[in-house]
C-alpha cells in the first residue's frame, strides 16, 4: 500500500492499491502489523501509508486509511500516541489526515486541533482554559513546548489543511502571519504551506493579513510561488489559482 525504505526502482503509484489491500485484509493480514522502518518512526502499516508519496500520487491514500480503519486499525496508533495523524501532518498527506480526523483521531494538542478545524479547542487553549485536556504530540513530531511557537505551528498546519476559521482566529490573536517555526519536510510559513496545497481561500486571507509572498523558507530558500511546482497528485490542479493570486499580489 505504500513504498517506503526500498529501492527507488520498486517505488511507484499503484492505482488499485485499495483493491489489493482488501484482498490481503480478507486473507487475514494484521492491519496493525508492526514494522521497524526508519528506526521505528513508522511502526505500523498505517504510519507507512500516511508517510508515503505514492498512494497520494495514485489518489488512493484516503481510501486506504478508511479501509484500514474499517478493518480495525487503531486510528491513534497501537499505543494511543496519535502517531498516524502526526505522521500524516508531518508528511502533508492531507487526504490521509482528513480521513483520520473523520474517524475520530485525537485533537488534544494545538497542531492537531488546528489541522482538524477545531476552533473551539484552539480558542480554549489560547485562553489557557484548564478544563481542556492537552496531551503531548508523538515523540517524533516537533511540537514546541513554547506556547508562542506552538501557536505559530498551529497556524502553519491550519493553513496547510485549509482551516480558514482557525487561521483567522490565530491571526486575530496576534500570531505572526509570517512565522516560520520548526516543522517538517513540507512546512515553512503559513503562506508556503497553504499555497502548495492549493488552499486558495486561506492564501487570500493570509495575503490580506500581511503575508509576504517574497519571503523564502529556511530549508529550501524558496518563495511560496516556487513551492507550487512541487504540489502532489490532485493538488496540482488546485495551485493554478494560487499562482495567479501570488503573481497578482507581487
Query: Does residue 12 or residue 43 have the better pLDDT?
Result: 43
In the prediction, which pLDDT does 4 show? 55
Buried/exposed code over 107-143 (b: 16+ C-beta within 10 A; e: otherwise): bbbbbbbbbbbbbebbbbbbeeeeeeeeeebbebbeb
Q: Is the pLDDT of residue 183 over 90?
A: no
**Can you tell me the distance from the alpha carbon of 185 to that of 46, in angstroms, rounded to the nearest whole number?**
19
Superfamily of domain 107-250: Ankyrin repeat-containing domain (1.25.40.20)
Averaged pLDDT, 167-190: 94
Q: Is 208 a residue whose pLDDT tops 60? A: yes
Contact 186, 92 (CB under 8 A): yes
Tens digits of residue pLDDT in 81-101: 999 999 999 999 999 999 999
Task: Quote the Cα angle for 6-82-109, to 5°.
Answer: 130
Domain span(s) for CATH 1.25.40.20 in the chain: 1-106, 107-250
Task: Classify domain 1-106 by CATH number.
Answer: 1.25.40.20
Given pLDDT bands bounded at 50, 70 and 90, which one contains residue 137? very high
Task: Give the pLDDT mean for 71-89.
Answer: 95
Calculate mean pLDDT across residues 97-124: 97
In 3D, which of 182, 193, 204 has the Cα closest to residue 230?
A: 193
Amino acid at each position: 500500500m505504500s513504498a517506503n525504505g526500498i529501492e527507488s526502482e520498486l517505488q511507484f503509484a499503484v492505482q488499485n492499491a485499495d483493491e489489493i489491500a482488501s484482498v490481503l485484509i480478507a486473507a487475514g493480514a494484521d492491519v496493525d502489523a508492526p514494522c521497524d522502518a526508519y528506526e521505528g518512526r513508522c511502526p505500523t502499516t498505517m504510519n507507512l501509508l500516511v508517510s508515503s508519496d505514492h498512494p497520494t500520487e495514485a489518489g488512493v491514500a484516503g481510501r486506504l486509511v478508511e479501509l484500514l480503519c474499517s478493518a480495525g486499525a487503531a486510528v491513534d496508533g497501537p499505543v494511543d500516541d496519535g502517531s498516524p495523524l502526526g505522521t500524516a501532518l508531518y508528511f502533508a498527506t492531507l487526504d490521509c489526515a482528513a480521513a483520520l480526523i473523520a474517524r475520530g483521531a485525537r485533537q488534544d494538542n494545538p497542531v492537531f486541533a488546528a489541522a482538524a478545524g477545531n476552533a473551539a479547542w484552539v480558542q480554549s487553549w489560547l485562553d489557557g482554559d484548564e478544563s481542556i485536556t492537552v496531551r503531548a504530540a508523538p515523540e517524533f513530531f516537533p511540537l514546541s513546548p513554547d506556547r508562542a511557537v506552538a501557536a505559530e505551528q498551529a497556524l502553519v498546519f491550519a493553513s496547510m489543511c485549509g482551516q480558514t476559521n482557525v487561521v483567522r482566529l490565530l491571526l486575530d490573536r496576534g500570531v505572526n502571519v509570517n512565522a516560520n517555526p520548526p516543522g517538517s519536510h513540507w512546512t515553512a510559513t503559513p503562506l508556503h504551506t497553504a499555497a502548495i496545497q492549493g488552499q486558495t481561500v486561506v492564501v487570500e486571507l493570509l495575503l490580506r493579513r500581511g503575508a509576504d509572498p517574497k519571503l523564502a523558507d529556511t530549508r529550501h530558500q524558496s518563495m511560496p510561488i516556487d513551492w507550487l511546482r512541487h504540489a502532489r497528485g490532485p493538488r496540482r490542479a488546485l495551485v493554478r489559482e494560487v499562482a495567479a493570486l501570488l503573481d497578482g499580489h507581487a
